Amino acid sequence: MEYRSIAAYGLVGNRETGALVGPDGSVDWLPFPRLCSPSVFARVLDVDIGGWFCLRPIGDFESTHEYLDDTSVLRTTFHGGDGTLTLTDFMPPHGITHPETVTERSLVRRVTCVEDEETLDVSFRPRFDYARGETTIESIAESHAGDGRTDDGGIVGYRVTGGERTLSLWTDADLDLTRRDATGSVTLTEGESRWFVLTEGDGPRPTYGDCQRSLEATLDHWRGWVGSLPGVGGEHRDLLARSAVTMRLLSNARTGAIAAAPTTSLPEDIGGVRNWDYRFHWMRDSSIVSRALSRLGATEAARANLDWWLDHLNEYGPASEEVLFHPLYDLYPDDDTVRTTEITLDHLSGYRDSAPVRIGNAAYDQKQLDIYGELLLSASELVGAGVTLSDEEWAGLHRIVEHVCEVWQEPDYGIWEVRSQPEQFVNSKVMCWAAVDRGIELATGRGESVPEHWVRTREEIHETVCERGFREEQNAFVRSFEADEALDAACLRIPLVGFLPADDPRVQGTIDAIVDRLLVDDGLVQRYEGPDGLPGRDHAFVLCTFWLVDAMAAAGRRDAAATVLSDILDRGSSLGLFAEEIDPMNGEQLGNYPLAFAHAGLVNSVLGLTRAGEDRVGVDETVPTHHD
């Protein structure tokens, strides 16, 4: 088998974990029971040994897949040699009322023949612990399954064990067992269905009625939630809804933590080493994502994110004497079985031989100063939306601003988490300014006295960045104080956080320089110039393109912004999903997928450009052209 395109996958999930499902009906990625848990299926990282769960016609077929409107339920349609099958995949989300035998820690799959007759091929090949652990499958004895329920439709169980882990596969399809695989085929006629329920533990047998009610409850849950969001509407309603659902899938229902992505080690550079684990809770990513959700109307996400960080500071204290917070944390910080320590899985070949495969993330130990500005921006937006901060919450934010005043002059590893030496990154300084600025704003709004050194620090940061971060010869802000001319697309955020007005000539010059040197194709913007300590290519970063849209719109270049937005929206997957990066040479999506960052950028740009159209200032500019 060959690897399929990253963008070919759909994500289904329960707000605790998620599975990637290909258009051939194969689940090729599933960490279970949590997103940060080791995988049960990982064929996306090794086609030979990673493990998979595939439901497909037995012969040649063509397929399409789509999400059922406003939900995370994925439907794949197979047109086989004799008939047509539909495959419906979902995971019941946390918090809905479940039939007692279909728990929220379940992957549920239904295959239905909708035309003529077709034979289904079943291949169930779990491989515990990233294919490192022993896996065995055995039939569940009838005495265990028998519970007096009469509408089970012939559903039988298979127990899957690996070390101390146990899963159960319940199905009404007759399967043949080997020691660690279950396979088989079943012919379906028009109107017939087969159910497959993979669930944690060794629980009771589900029935047809349980499965159907769970599907209906899942559809109702997602459609009710999307329908409650006032920001989901307009020309790009479907993309806004898909982004909202995707970001919420990555928002843990139990802890409020937001994962950057549901995957690890999907490469930014095919065949290269830029392969990272994104199944963690970053202060930066989670704050940006929570603000995007809040702008759609899901204010509770922004509140939960702010609470998570302030509660963590209150309970655990600062990360060290030098660092108040690490940049990222486990989704379950109280679970000592999960580690952020970065290790490689050398037994896995990696997606399209992109090794190493990594779990954990060494950026945990980096100093990243921009993160504090992201959290203060979130707090400021919440207060602007009418949320009242408690005295304890304000005390935590006050402590963060004090820390920023102490450390803002230090070098760090920046927003891009470079693996070269730390620098005085301009974006980090600007975000430190934003942290102090919003701290002053919040204190004033609360009627608190503003410490004089906060005001002095804000002015000092501003003066220093304008003096040391701007290059007259480039007519642009550059990557760092040490850089002579290297650009950084993160400087597009300078007007977006209020550091300088969008019509300032230095902002306009920075936009022009980035269009000239980092816009590498229509709708694609690279992150930065200069070394980052890694070999290989860094391709266009999706979020940076949305930042360009936002900066152009703020600067009055609405026609240009609308063109760039249209270009990048056209590059989404057939399901409306975005990975981390896009290769401008062939349009291939690269990196972890789907990326919460990217979908937050989409929401912000679509909503921002809509507002710019309603309240236009300035004049539209010529649409930019990329350089060769």
456-465 long-range contacts, Cβ below 8 Å, gap at least 24? Answer: 457/404, 457/405, 457/408, 458/433, 461/408, 461/429, 461/432, 461/433, 461/436, 462/433, 462/499, 464/409, 464/429, 465/426, 465/429, 465/430, 465/433, 465/499
Report how many domains make up the chain: 2
Kindly report, residue by residue over 13-31, the tens digit of the pLDDT: 999 999 999 999 999 999 9
> Among 136-150, 156-170, 377-391, 404-418, which is the least confidently predicted range?
136-150
Q: By percentage, how much of the chain surpasses pLDDT 90?
A: 86
d(C-alpha 450, C-alpha 441), whole Å: 9
Tokens (6 digits) for 176: 């043949």
392 and 475 co-located in one domain: yes
626 domain-assigned: no
Tokens (6 digits) for 458: 């804000």
Q: What pLDDT does 151 receive? A: 60
311 domain-assigned: yes
CA 324 to chain centre: 25
Q: Kindly tell me if the per-residue pLDDT of 617 is higher than 50.
A: no
Q: pTM, whole model, 2 decimals?
A: 0.95
SS3 15: coil
Exposed/middle/buried for residue 142 (C-beta within 10 Å: 0-12, 13-18, 19+): exposed
622 domain-assigned: no
151 and 236 co-located in one domain: no
Run of H or E including 389: none
1 domain-assigned: no
Query: The dihedral of CA 590, 595, 601, 607: what is its sign?
Result: positive
474 and 447 co-located in one domain: yes
Q: Kindly tell me if the per-residue pLDDT of 626 is higher than 50.
A: no
Q: What pLDDT does 338 receive? A: 55
Q: Kindly tell me if the per-residue pLDDT of 378 is higher than 90.
A: yes
Q: What is the DSSP string of 265-311?
A: ---SSTTSS---B--SEEHHHHHHHHHHHHHHT-HHHHHHHHHHHHH
Confidence of residue 334 (pLDDT cuts 50, 70, 90): low
Confidence of residue 619 (pLDDT cuts 50, 70, 90): very low
181 and 295 co-located in one domain: no
264 and 196 co-located in one domain: no
d(C-alpha 171, C-alpha 158), whole Å: 9
d(C-alpha 431, C-alpha 557), whole Å: 24
d(C-alpha 17, C-alpha 2), whole Å: 26
Kindly report, residue by residue over 286-318, the tens digit of the pLDDT: 999 999 999 999 999 999 999 999 999 999 899
127-137: average pLDDT: 95
Q: What pLDDT does 620 receive? A: 33
**Domain of 283, in residue numbers:** 229-614
Three-state SS annotation for 179-200:
CCCEEEEEEEECCCEEEEEEEE
16 and 143 co-located in one domain: yes
Give 62's strand partners. Answer: 79
Give 173's strand partners. Answer: none
Run of H or E including 41: strand 39-41
Residue ending a domain, among 195, 224, 253, is: 224
Exposed/middle/buried for residue 230 (C-beta within 10 Å: 0-12, 13-18, 19+): exposed
d(C-alpha 491, C-alpha 169), whole Å: 50
Residue ending a domain, among 206, 224, 242, is: 224
Q: Is the peptide bond before 99 cis (omega within 30 degrees of 0)?
A: no
Q: Kindly tell me if the per-residue pLDDT of 623 is higher than 90.
A: no
30-34: average pLDDT: 95
d(C-alpha 299, C-alpha 421), whole Å: 38
d(C-alpha 471, C-alpha 481), whole Å: 10
> Among 53-62, 181-190, 196-205, 463-472, which is the least confidently predicted range?
196-205
130 and 195 co-located in one domain: yes
Q: What pLDDT does 614 receive? A: 59
> Among 159-173, 278-292, 395-409, 452-466, which is the least confidently predicted range?
159-173
**H-helix segments, 17-136:** 128-131
Q: What b-and-e string marks burial along 273-298, b requiring 16 or more CB atoms within 10 Å of the CB?
A: bbbbbbbbbbbbbbbbbbbbbbbbbb
**H-helix segments, 351-390:** 370-384
Q: What pLDDT does 142 receive? A: 54
Contacts of residue 440, Cβ cutoff 8 Å, sequence gap at least 6: 450, 454, 455, 458
CATH number at residue 160: 2.70.98.10
Kindly report, residue by residue over 527-570, the tens digit of the pLDDT: 999 999 999 888 999 999 999 999 999 999 999 999 999 999 99
Cβ atoms of 242 and 576 within 8 Å: the answer is: yes
